[in-house]
Amino acid sequence: MKLYWCEQTRAFRIVWMLEELGEPYERIRVGIRDGENRDDPDFRAASPMGKVPAISDGSTRLWDSGAICLYLADKYPKDGLGVPIDDPRRGEFLQWLMFTNSVIEPAMVERFMNLEPKPSSYGHGSFDSMIAVLERGVAGGPWIMGERFTAADVLIGSSVHVMDLFGILPDSPLLKDYVERCRDRPALQKALVLDRPA
C-alpha cells in the first residue's frame, strides 16, 4: 500500500491509522508547499485534485482522510478499528467517523480564523455546539465509542490534538483527558515523529 502524504497536513491521520493497524505501507511525500511529486501520475490517479492524504492499494485508489480510515478499518477487521456492517453500532460509528470532516473542521476554521459564523455555516453548527457534542461523545469514554478505540478516534483525536496545539481547545477536562489518552498511544507518538518536517 502506498500512502501519499505531506508533513503537517491531515495526512498524519492516515499515518496514525496505519501505525495502529501495524500493516506495511510505503510513504511517498507529496510536497504541498514545494511541489515535490505533485505531478506524479500515480499520485494524480489516487488524488485527482492533487490533495493529500491519498492511498493506492492494488487497484484501489482513495483520497479523503475519512474515506481512507473507513476503507482501512473495513479492510483489516481483525484489528478492531472499525465496526462490522451488521453490528447495531455501525451507524453510530459512521456518524462519528464523518463528524470530523463535516462538523469539527469547519467549526475549527471559523474559530481559528476569528470568523463570525454565517447562516451558511449553520449546517455544521457553531464551534461551541460542536465542542458540547464532542464532550458528550467522550463522556462515556474512554473513547468515542466507549471502551473500544476505533478509526473514529483517529479522526476526532487528530482534530482535538490540532485544536489544542493551535490554542483553540476550550478548557474542557473531558477533551483534555481524551487528547492525552490519544497522545499516550504508541501509534500516535510514532505518527507525530514521522510528521516532523525534514
Residue 119's pLDDT is: 62
User: Quick check: pTM over 0.85?
Assistant: yes
pLDDT value of residue 120: 63
Q: How many CB atoms lie within 10 A of CB 39?
A: 10
Tell me how far apart the alpha carbons of residues 19 and 40 are, in angstroms, rounded to a whole number. Answer: 25
> Would you state the pLDDT for residue 121?
55
Q: Which domains can be identified in the chain, with CATH numbers? A: 2-79+189-194 (3.40.30.10), 90-185 (1.20.1050.10)
Quote the CA–CA distance of 147 and 11 in Å, as a whole number.
26
Binned average pLDDT, 10 residues per bin, the chain of 198 residues: 93 97 95 78 91 96 96 95 96 95 86 72 77 95 95 98 95 97 98 88
**The predicted structure's pLDDT at residue 91:** 97
Question: What are the tens digits of pLDDT across the range 82-128?
Answer: 999 999 999 999 999 999 988 898 888 888 877 776 666 566 678 88
Contacts of 40 (CB under 8 A, 6+ apart): 28, 30
Cell of 181: 489518552
Give the angle 197-106-10 at the CA atoms, nearest 5°. Answer: 25
